[in-house]
């Protein structure tokens, strides 16, 4: 490639990568902020800790509005906290609002602020003490609020249970899917028998059925079995093989030479032993792919748990995260929300980094059947 | 059947028995029941009552149903081409001889692994009209009255389309695998004949990977028509002016919020038909545009 083309390629790749990373970065950045800084405008990337002289001592403060023109810092009668008032609205010891009667005020100090030398209102963490100071007198340094993570866990109420439920489902679904799909794929690829192709056609056909078609009768079935409000609907089916994984594994099994099985058969090896001791070990990469996809599918599933789980003690992490959004009092506390999201995403990313090759090969495999 | 054949058949059936059981209980029975319920008044608590075509007739005159159909189609008309083209562009870039290809590929792929609920939360925050990162960035670019992504019915669908591009990593990886399978000899022959990079792309690379483009399109249609979580989490399933009330969301609401399970089943079957119709249309165009090697 010529140099300009090469540079352009890298520039585009880097720009794209920056855009794809941005949401993650913003999530983590928000997760590490105190609540008031999540609302700051313009947004800042790094959480800071601000300190200033307040009430006679240097202490951590919260920032209030900026003052960019001369005003008066005054205590209005009947209002507990001092406020900044426009200069010309205060005359003869009383504040004359645009409408309404004048109110007596006690002027505490003038604020000689200007657009080039702004002041800022500050308050202590409880909001009880307030003052207005030149912005140069506020010191700040980066301070990430790691304590948001334990707090977000507490705000989710049953984080431990959600995690345990999710892991429980992941373990059962991965075990069930890998074992049953491999067994079924063996039957559809390594054995010659009547009806095999007809049944495999049926299996392919079932892959076309969208979930909403079976959603209602499945709900009715699980209700009849008394399984609504339990985790059972979310894992029992995995032991009955899933069409997609059977298809994937069958493609793999077919690549193993027939002679291998024949030789084993002549030596008196049973089909189950051929399956378990010869075919499965040879197909480990494919089994890993099925296990990974099943794990991801279970970890990320939302609709299934939403339909079948009723008690919050049975919730999965995905449902718990959503519950945190809907049960909050007042506005969403975005720092905790993002901390909780980070916690839900982190294991997935870790898994990807550990098993990157299998992921990429697996995805490429699903596309190569086109 | 000879004794040997019979034995082999029993073996075969034994190996596929988990699936036979599963397909009977979790597929064939539900499909049949769903078809039956779609002609019934059914609330899951009491027995279904046969009402003939009533659910389907109701659907035809249900304005909310048609709104959900329209929303879903419009959203897909935005999200599907955007996703397919972005993914293809990224895959073409990654297919160049670049350093750190693995790292770039990982970065593009990672978002597609993010649980849908978490990604909905992140984007709810990024797209926030007043405090969101996106509008702050637009502010820096001099756009001082940026869209109210989540509050303006004209912008809710584009918001979700942008968000869906973030998750296109899966498609990128599939494209990339296909691109690496394009015969080098063809590209080199075109190069020797003096074809420009653009012409090599249009006349060699794209035809060679057209089966995969078609595959991604069909998968995209099937998934796109069932879009649910983003609307459900970010907009409570409806949004301003019901602008993101999608088909799957309305179906869910009918089943589990209004307890009109018969109507929900009828909707599910119409969804099936819609998917069939659209994939059939895709296959018609594929017949002209998709090139299979060895044909």
The CATH number covering residue B73 comes to 1.10.3720.10
Distance CA A125, CA A60 (A): 7
Can you tell me the distance from the alpha carbon of B277 to that of B281, in angstroms, rounded to the nearest whole number?
6
Fold of A150-368: MetI-like fold (1.10.3720)
Q: What is chain A's Cα-based Rg? A: 32
Predicted local distance difference test score (pLDDT) of residue B295: 45
pLDDT of residue A370: 45
Residue B1 lies in a domain: no
Number of independent structural domains in chain B: 1
Neighbour-count burial for B39-50, b at 16+ CB within 10 Å, e otherwise: bbbbebeeebee
Cα–Cα distance measured from residue B254 to residue A120, given in angstroms and rounded to the nearest whole number: 53
pLDDT band at B232 (very low <50, low <70, confident <90, very high): very high
Is residue A349 within 8 angstroms of chain B, CB to CB? Answer: yes
* For range B252-260, the mean pLDDT: 95
B228: contact with A, CB 8 A cutoff: yes
The per-residue pLDDT for A63 is: 87
Cβ-based neighbour number of residue A57 at 10 Å = 7
Q: Nearest-CA residue of chain B relative to A199?
A: B20
Burial class (CB in 10 A: 0-12, 13-18, 19+), B28: middle
| B90, B97, B102 member nearest A1 (Cβ) | B97
pLDDT of residue B30 exceeding 70, the answer is yes
Per CB-CB distance under 8 Å, the chain B contacts of A275 are 15
- Do residues A105 and A87 make contact, with C-beta atoms less than 8 angstroms apart? no
Which of B:86-125 have CB within 8 Å of A?
A: 90, 93-94, 96-98, 102, 104-111, 113-119, 121-123, 125
Distance from CA of B65 to the nearest CA of A (A): 15
How many other C-beta atoms are found inside a 10 Å radius of the C-beta of residue B185? 8
Q: Residue A41's closest chain B neighbor by CA?
A: B131
Which residues numbered 81-140 in A keep a CB inside 8 Å of some CB on B? none
pLDDT for A330: 62
Per-residue confidence (pLDDT) for residue A368, from 0 to 100: 66
Give the one of B15, B125, B226 whose C-beta lies nearest to A187's C-beta: B15
Measured CA to CA, the distance from residue B216 to residue B219 in angstroms comes to 5
Closest-CA distance of chain A to residue B55, Å: 15
Chain B residues with CB-CB distance to A220 below 8 A: 33, 44, 261
Across the interface, do A206 and B178 touch by the CB < 8 Å criterion?
no
pTM of the model: 0.90
Q: Which residues of chain B have a CB within 8 Å of the CB of A368?
A: 177-178
Show the tokens assigned to A327: 């049960």
Q: Does B264 touch chain A (CB under 8 A)?
A: yes
Using CA atoms, how far apart are residues A54 and A131, in angstroms rounded to an integer?
7
Q: Which residues contact A324 (CB under 8 A, 6 or more apart)?
A: A155, A156, A336, A337, A340
Spell out the alpha helix ranges (H) of B95-205: 101-109, 116-126, 133-140, 153-166, 169-179, 184-192, 197-200
Query: A154 vs A33, A332, B90, CA distance in Å?
Result: 17, 15, 40
Q: What is the mean pLDDT of residues B173-199?
A: 90
Instruction: Confirm whether B4 is domain-assigned.
Output: no
- Interchain pair A23, B122: CB under 8 A: yes
Distance of CA A313 to the CA centre of its chain: 20
CB contact under 8 A, B18 and A191: no
Please tell me the predicted confidence (pLDDT) of residue A328.
Answer: 59
**Residue B254 Cα to chain centre, angstroms:** 22
Query: Given this model, what pLDDT does residue A32 score?
Result: 96
> Which residues of chain B neighbour A43 with C-beta distances below 8 Å?
131, 133, 136
- To the nearest whole Å, the CA of A35 is away from the closest chain B CA by 13
Expressed as residue numbers, the domain containing B160 is 62-289
Mean pLDDT of B272-278: 94
A78 is written with which tokens? Answer: 């009947």
pLDDT averaged over consecutive 10-residue blocks of chain A (370 residues)?
A: 86 95 96 89 87 88 87 86 85 80 86 88 86 90 94 92 97 97 95 92 92 96 96 96 93 89 90 91 92 95 96 94 78 90 95 89 70
Domain spans, chain A: 50-144, 150-368
Question: Is B211's Cβ below 8 Å from some Cβ in A?
Answer: yes
Q: In Å, what is the CA distance from B260 to each residue of A213, A216, A223, B253?
A: 14, 10, 16, 9
Q: Do A216 and B174 touch (CB under 8 A)?
A: no
Task: Please tell me the distance from the alpha carbon of residue B123 to that of residue B160, in angstroms, as a whole number.
Answer: 9
Q: What is the pLDDT of residue A300?
A: 95
CA distance B154 to chain A (A): 23
* Cβ within 8 Å of residue B153, ≥6 positions away: B239, B240, B241, B243
Interface test with B, best of A209, A367, A369 (most B CBs within 10 A): A367
ipTM attached to this prediction: 0.91
């Amino acid at each position: 490639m010529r140099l300009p083309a090469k540079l352009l390629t890298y520039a585009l790749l880097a720009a794209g990568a920056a855009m794809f990373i941005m949401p993650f970065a913003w999530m983590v950045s928000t997760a590490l902020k105190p609540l008031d800084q999540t609302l700051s405008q313009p947004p800042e990337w790094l959480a800071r800790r601000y300190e200033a002289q307040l009430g006679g001592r240097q202490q951590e403060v919260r920032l209030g509005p900026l003052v960019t023109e001369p005003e008066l810092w005054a205590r209005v009668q009947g209002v507990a906290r001092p406020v900044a008032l426009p200069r010309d609205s205060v005359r003869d010891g009383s504040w004359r609002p645009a409408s309404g009667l004048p109110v007596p005020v006690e002027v505490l100090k003038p604020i000689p602020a200007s657009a080039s030398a702004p002041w800022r209102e500050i308050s202590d963490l409880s909001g009880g003490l307030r003052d207005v100071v030149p912005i140069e007198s506020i010191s700040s340094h980066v301070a990430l609020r790691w304590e948001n993570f334990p707090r977000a866990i507490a705000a989710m109420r049953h984080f431990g249970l959600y995690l345990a439920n999710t892991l429980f489902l992941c373990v059962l679904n991965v075990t069930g899917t890998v074992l049953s799909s491999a067994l079924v794929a063996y039957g559809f690829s390594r054995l010659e028998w009547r009806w095999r192709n007809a049944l495999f056609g049926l299996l392919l056909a079932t892959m076309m059925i969208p979930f909403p078609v079976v959603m209602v009768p499945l709900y009715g079935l699980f209700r009849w079995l008394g399984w609504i409000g339990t985790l059972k609907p979310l894992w029992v089916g995995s032991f009955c093989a899933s069409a997609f994984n059977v298809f994937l594994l069958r493609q793999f099994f077919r690549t193993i030479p027939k002679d291998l099985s024949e030789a084993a058969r002549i030596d008196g090896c049973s089909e189950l032993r051929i399956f378990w001791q010869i075919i499965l070990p040879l197909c480990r990469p494919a089994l890993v792919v099925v296990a990974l996809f099943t794990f991801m599918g279970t970890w990320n599933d939302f609709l299934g748990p939403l339909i079948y789980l009723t008690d919050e003690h049975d919730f999965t992490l995905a449902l718990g995260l959503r519950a945190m959004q809907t049960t909050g009092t007042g506005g969403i506390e975005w720092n905790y929300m993002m901390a909780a999201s980070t916690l839900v995403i982190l294991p997935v990313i870790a898994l990807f980094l550990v098993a990157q090759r299998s992921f990429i090969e697996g995805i490429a495999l699903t596309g190569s059947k086109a | 059947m000879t004794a040997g054949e019979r034995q082999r058949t029993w073996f075969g059936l034994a190996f596929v028995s988990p699936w036979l059981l599963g397909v009977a209980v979790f597929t064939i029975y539900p499909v049949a029941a769903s078809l039956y319920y779609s002609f019934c008044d059914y609330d899951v608590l009491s027995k279904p009552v046969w009402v003939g075509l009533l659910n389907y007739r109701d659907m035809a005159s249900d304005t909310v149903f048609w709104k959900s159909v329209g929303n879903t189609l419009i959203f897909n008309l935005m999200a599907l081409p955007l996703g397919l083209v972005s993914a293809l562009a990224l895959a073409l870039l990654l297919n160049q001889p670049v350093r750190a290809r693995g790292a770039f590929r990982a970065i593009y792929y990672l978002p597609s692994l993010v649980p849908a609920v978490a990604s909905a939360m992140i984007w709810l925050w990024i797209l926030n009209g007043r405090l969101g990162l996106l509008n702050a960035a637009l502010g820096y670019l001099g756009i001082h009255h940026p869209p109210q992504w989540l509050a303006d019915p004209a912008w809710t669908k584009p918001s979700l389309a942008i968000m869906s591009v973030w998750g296109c990593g899966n498609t990128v990886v599939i494209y990339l695998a296909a691109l690496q399978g394009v015969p080098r000899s063809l590209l080199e022959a075109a190069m020797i004949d003096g074809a420009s990079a653009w012409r090599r792309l249009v006349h060699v690379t794209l035809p060679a990977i057209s089966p995969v483009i078609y595959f991604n399109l069909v998968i995209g249609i099937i998934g796109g028509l069932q879009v649910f979580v983003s609307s459900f989490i970010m907009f409570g399933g409806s949004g301003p002016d019901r602008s993101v009330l999608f088909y799957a969301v309305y179906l869910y609401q009918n089943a589990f919020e209004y307890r009109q399970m018969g109507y929900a089943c009828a909707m599910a079957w119409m969804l099936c038909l819609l998917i069939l119709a659209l994939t059939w249309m895709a296959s018609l165009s594929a017949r002209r545009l998709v090139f299979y090697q060895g044909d």
